[in-house]
Amino acid sequence: MQTGLALYIGNTLKAQGFEVICAGTPSAVNLMKVADPKKAYIETYVNIDKCIDQIAEGTFDVDLTFGFIHKDSGLQYLGTIAALSRSTPVAVVFGREAEPLSKEVGESLDGVHVVWATAVHNPLPLKKKLDKMGEWAALVRGQV
């Protein structure tokens, strides 16, 4: 489910004029590369730990950060990036425990936009909620 939604978000961001970068664990990055071998949706791939290091060093940053959260580790990654980066965090929360986890995300991260659904295998409920967000450029800090 994450791969499909990540590609959808990448496609939408690209259509809105963003440079699309995917940061993830080695396994997650490999899933994305297999799903998008011609880089039609995602232009650049980065190891999430190296990405966080570069943001902390001030050598790299982004405007928007979409974090997929279905357990605490996703919250920790997005929280770390949100604390170090000037980017606007968007939490995409899913799974059987999505509702309580989305509340935890909203309470834990300042300025986060939370999109959630109890979806486990079907990405359409989250896709519909992402579509309701409209032009994502409006979410970029300093643009509103």
- Residues forming beta bridges with residue 1, ordered by sequence position: none
Q: What are phi and psi of 27, to 5 degrees?
A: -65, -45
What is residue 137's predicted lDDT score, i.e. its pLDDT? 80
Number of domains in the chain: 1
Q: What is the CATH number of the domain that holds 53?
A: 3.40.50.10160
Does 59 have pLDDT greater than 90? Answer: yes
CB contact at 8 A, 143 and 21: no
Indicate the range of 26-30, 32-36, 68-72, 86-90 predicted with least confidence. 68-72
User: 130 in a domain, yes or no?
Assistant: yes
126, 102 contact by CB (below 8 A): no
Distance CA 120, CA 33 (A): 22
Q: Give pLDDT, residue 124.
A: 96
Give per-residue pLDDT as tens, 119-129.
Answer: 899 999 999 99
Q: Does residue 142 belong to any structural domain of this protein?
A: no
**Domain residue limits at 70:** 2-134
Check if the beta carbon of residue 68 is closer than 8 Å to that of residue 2. Answer: yes
pLDDT band for position 141 (cuts 50, 70, 90): low
